[in-house]
Amino acid sequence: MSNNDSNLLGYMLKYCKQIQETSAEFDNSKDKFDESATFRNAICLCLLQIGELVSVLSDDFKKDNPDMQWKEIKLLRNIVAHRYGQIDYDIVWDICLNDVPEMIDFCSEELNAL
């Protein structure tokens, strides 16, 4: 893994943890997520940043790690950035619950292997 890729993974990990911290501040509540634009916007901004970082990971790194859904992560970034009124927040909530913890594990394992 290149130094650039490891730096990018570090930032991805930071944003994933920010998603979890933000969710904890709102009691990990789906109802609060549905009610609070501040909560939804904070999560979406982190997801947008993660998508940006994925777009600059090296192709070799992404090819070496095909189990990560790189294209879907980038697609979500594009939806958040360009079609804000069309975001399905149920999907965003599911990503917070299921995909973000997996990405934390992935990034942590990759960084610990250095």
**Which of 39, 77, 79, 80 is labelled catalytic?**
77
Which of 31, 82, 88, 98 is catalytic? The answer is 82
Catalytic (active site) residue 77: yes
Active-site residue flag, 36:
no
Residue 93's Cβ-count burial label (10 Å; 0-12, 13-18, 19+) is middle
- Residue positions annotated with a catalytic role: 77, 82
